[in-house]
Amino acid sequence: MNRAKLYSSASEMQHRDAAEALSRHVGSMTWLDDGSESVLDVGCGSGEVTRRLLLPVVPATGRVVAVDASESMIRFASVRHRHPRLCFRAIDILDPDMRGKFPLGFRKVFSFFCLHWVREQRIAMKNIYDLLVPGGEALLVFLASSPIFDVYQQMAAVSRWSKYTKDYENYISPYHHSKTPSQDLKTLLSDVGFHVAYCETRERIFVFDGLPQLKDAIKAVNPFLDRVPKDMHEDYLSDFLHESKKLKAKVQISNGKLSTKYELFEVLVKRVKQ
Ligand SMILES: C[S@@+](CC[C@H](N)C(=O)[O-])C[C@H]1O[C@@H](n2cnc3c(N)ncnc32)[C@H](O)[C@@H]1O
């Protein structure tokens, strides 16, 4: 994901869901106001959620570090969301030396709409565990399944697009085809060492007001578009919409508005042990 400017203006759905998850779970986390509250945001993207939603819930004495694997996202976020208690760094959550980079660790880790991008779930969750100090907590919000992943699969079967999208499985949530996503994730989190306070999927619906809004939202997160020649982008997007419309159980269109139904993980975990 490298379209930082577009993502910053075309991520209303992610913004809404992050705000709701924060309002549901932040109150049940333990916050200290003695200056020791250190917070990591994993996969901060263009930084809107970090700056506008996360920073305001952190005590005024606390600090936030926001990381993202994409250098262009970090460049954009660092300029757009400059703040004395916030710093942005280009780091991949799969980095083998995470704790070396942050020797003091964090009291909180947050991550919104990032972890479905990560195939190596065990490494990511273990790194988050290792980054937390004992007593530290993490709130993880990400897609368990979404019609967008079905469309990636369908587009890979369309001969015109298959050469650009044949590795589509790398971009589908690891839980998309699971019949027991919460159980799978709970097992993984417990194996890694977490105490799992909450790990459920929530069915969510988002209504796109019209075609331009939907196209921007698709463009902002689509991992294949950079491979498609520019003069074919409009065709790709219209085929993408055509394929979306086939998913009648998950995508509905009426009065020019398109509503999409997806499953979102909300996970609250704690590192108890030393
Ligand atoms: C959809 S954006 C979410 C941005 C922001 N958290 C929000 O809720 O609006 C997902 C971000 O995750 C980042 N990402 C994907 N894989 C990552 C990884 N392995 N480590 C760190 N960031 C990653 C992408 O670069 C992208 O900026």
How far, in Å, CA of 133 to CA of 106, rounded? 6
Mean pLDDT per block of 10 residues along the chain (274 residues) reads: 82 95 97 92 97 96 97 96 97 96 97 98 98 97 96 94 94 97 98 98 93 87 92 92 87 85 97 86
Closest alpha carbon to 139 in 233, 223, 29, 15:
29
CATH number for 65: 3.40.50.150
- Between the CA of 126 and the centroid of ligand 1 the distance, in Å, is 17
Show the domain range for 195.
Answer: 4-146+175-207+261-270
Closest-lying ligand 1 atom to the alpha carbon of residue 47:
5
The pTM assigned to this predicted structure is 0.96
Count Cα atoms within 13 angstroms, Cβ side, for 142. 26
- What pLDDT score does 130 carry? 97
- What pLDDT score does 36 carry? 85
- What pLDDT score does 257 carry? 87
- What pLDDT score does 1 carry? 61
- Let me know if residue 61 belongs to a domain: yes
Residue of 117, 122, 219 best suited for mutating to test ligand 1, as the one with most atoms within 8 Å of CB: 117
- Let me know if residue 82 belongs to a domain: yes
- Let me know if residue 74 belongs to a domain: yes
Residues facing 261 on adjacent strands: 205
- Let me know if residue 109 belongs to a domain: yes
- Let me know if residue 139 belongs to a domain: yes
- Let me know if residue 14 belongs to a domain: yes
Q: Is the CB of 149 under 6 A from ligand 1?
A: no
Closest-lying ligand 1 atom to the alpha carbon of residue 18:
8
Domain count, the chain: 1
- Between the CA of 224 and the centroid of ligand 1 the distance, in Å, is 16
Closest alpha carbon to 116 in 29, 17, 196, 39:
17
- Between the CA of 69 and the centroid of ligand 1 the distance, in Å, is 7
- Let me know if residue 44 belongs to a domain: yes
- Let me know if residue 234 belongs to a domain: no
- Between the CA of 111 and the centroid of ligand 1 the distance, in Å, is 8
Q: Which helix (H) or strand (E) holds 266?
A: strand 257-270
- What pLDDT score does 214 carry? 86
